Amino acid sequence: MTKRYTRSTTALLAALMLSACGEAEVVEAERSLSTVSPDRGEIRRVVGATGKIAARDEVTVGSEVSGRVLEVLVDFNDPVAKDQVLAIIDPTTSQNRLKQVLGQLENARAQIAVQQASIERAQVSFDNAERQMARQQGLFDQDAISAAQLEQAQRDMGLAKADMALAEARLVASQASERQLLAQVSEARADLARTTIRSPIDGVVIDRKIDPGQTVQSSFNAPELFAIAADLSQITVDASVVESDVAGLEAGDTARFTVDAYPDDPVEGVVRQLRLKPTEQNNIVSYTAVIEAENPDGMLIPGMTANLQITTETKSGVLRLPVAAERFRPSPADIEAFKSDSAAEEEESLLEPSYARLRIIGVSEARIARFAAQSEAATEKVRDIINDPTQPWMHARMRTQLAELMDSQVKGFLNADERQAYAALVASERTIRPVDLWVANGDTMAQRTVRLGLSDGSFIEVVDGLSEGDRVVTGISESAPQGGSLGGGRPGSARP
């Protein structure tokens, strides 16, 4: 009868040979299975990210005019109120410009007065020409004057009318010039007002970029003079999240972060937005998540680096296992020593999840039976490798191949509507994956396919395949027996 190695291991070959010659004493070490049972608890999917702290509302104050800075009235960290004077730029150029435009405006108004007088004069001339025309017409009707004299009176009236129209047009032009100059006056006054730099909001000066005597040159871009944070009691963090962690991240997710200055004081925040614009650096694509948080004590300063943990999904009361259970990979010798005789009976069908999906989308049992016949024949070789416990290194690759084969089988078997429903069902299970675990039965173990879901790095969710009473193998421990030794020397030799 073949000896089962569930209670002890074979001694070293050299030690056995020496023992056979009577030169050494060999004592077997006791070996046992280390197991853990699933329990119920909470699992959270947490995404790691880093970002810079910034004020929630920050305004950059610039200058729309050029000139030399005469005074700077605030410094870093100074609180400021809306419309408070921050700095003064030399107003001489703006004042001279305003005086010049005001002079042009006065000249335009004088021209308007002249044109109005010209209109009055043209009106008098036109009225006189009109009376002369009426008189000459009466005399011509009485044959008292010649036709030439009547025509002369008509020409005089036409010229008087044209002179009046010309004077009115000149008045309109002068009035247009006045309006243009009024706009220039308004602009010059605005430029003069802009030489006094004022705060647009209530806040704190977090940056000052000018000093008295410095020249500010405004061209296409307004030079930046100050940066003012509206309220440092509320801050934001622009966190960089790699594309593989974006799935499931959305507004409203909770975030927890620390800064290097206060590593023992975590801060709670909330994701406000996931920006759609990608950033690529060193072939790594990332997206920006904006996190909002409270800063009532003011200990968080803009520019600090935040190390974030964003919780994208939380499940409570789920069956879970330590992740160590998934990492256990026994050697072929361990499998031979501890494998249960009923392992084949506990083996589950690798194709059952596909059949279950077909039932969910409404495929009849008769059609499922036909599908099972053709899919089992097509996947037999792949399934044999997956079910072979002596080739654990092949299982992951073969499971991927099995999924591809089954996907091809399903596409060829279902109609368009059924394929769409099946694809939606598979998409909803994207976080669920089948894994082969070893389950202990006394001092033996058997391989079982278990579907695992959400993981937080310490625990992993058990979707199905295990119950709370099961014992999942996490390792094989070895302990030396009392009063024995695993090695020896020649008789009479000293032992350490």
- The three state secondary structure string of 439-460 is EEECCEEEEEEEEEEEECCCEE
Same-domain pairing of 382 and 475: yes
Dihedral angle over CA of 259, 261, 264, 269, nearest 10: -30
Dig out the tokens for 260 from the structure: 């290097």
**pLDDT over 90 percentage in the chain:** 30
N residues, the chain: 496
Of 284, 318, 352, the one marking the end of a domain is 318
| Other Cβ atoms closer than 10 A to 190 | 13
Can you tell me the distance from the alpha carbon of 405 to that of 399, in angstroms, rounded to the nearest whole number?
10
Confidence grade of residue 220 (pLDDT, cut at 50, 70, 90): low
- 351 shares its domain with 446: yes
Same domain membership, residue 9 and residue 74:
no
- The tens digit of pLDDT for each residue in 327-359 reads 888 888 888 888 775 544 444 467 877 888 888
Domain coverage including residue 309: 45-56+231-318
- Give me the helix-helix angle, 352-360 and 365-378, nearest 10°: 150
Spatial contact of 295 and 268, defined as CB atoms under 8 Å apart: no
Residue 396 has what pLDDT?
75
Is 117 among the domain residues? yes
Residue 315 in this model has a pLDDT that exceeds 90: no
Task: Considering only residues 202 and 248, tell me which one the structure prediction assigns the higher pLDDT.
Answer: 202
Domain boundary among 288, 318, 348: 318
Q: Sorting pLDDT into bands at 50, 70 and 90, what band is 24?
A: very low
The pLDDT tens digits of the residues spanning 126-141 come to 888 888 888 888 888 8
**For residue 303, what is the DSSP state?**
T
Model pLDDT, residue 347: 43
Tokens of 457: 């790095």
Is the domain of 221 the same as that of 115?
no
Could you tell me if 296 and 410 lie in one domain? no
In 90-198, the DSSP E strands lie at 196-198
Residues whose CB is less than 8 angstroms from the CB of residue 438 and which lie 6 or more positions away in sequence, other chains included:
328, 330, 445, 446, 447, 448, 472, 473
Residue 123 lies in a domain: yes
Q: What is the mean pLDDT of residues 148-153?
A: 85
What CATH number is associated with residue 224?
A: 2.40.50.100
Question: Does residue 50 form part of some domain?
Answer: yes
pLDDT of residue 480: 59
The first and second tokens of residue 301, run together, are 């300063």
- Tell me, yes or no, whether 187 lies in a domain: yes
Domain count, the chain: 5
Indicate the residue among 293, 318, 343 that finishes a domain. 318
Q: What is the mean pLDDT of the chain?
A: 83
394 part of a folded domain: yes
Using a pLDDT cut of 70, give the percent of the chain over it. 88
Check whether residue 369 and residue 236 sit in a common domain. Answer: no
Count of C-beta atoms within a 10 Å radius of residue 174: 19
Mean pLDDT of 362-367: 90
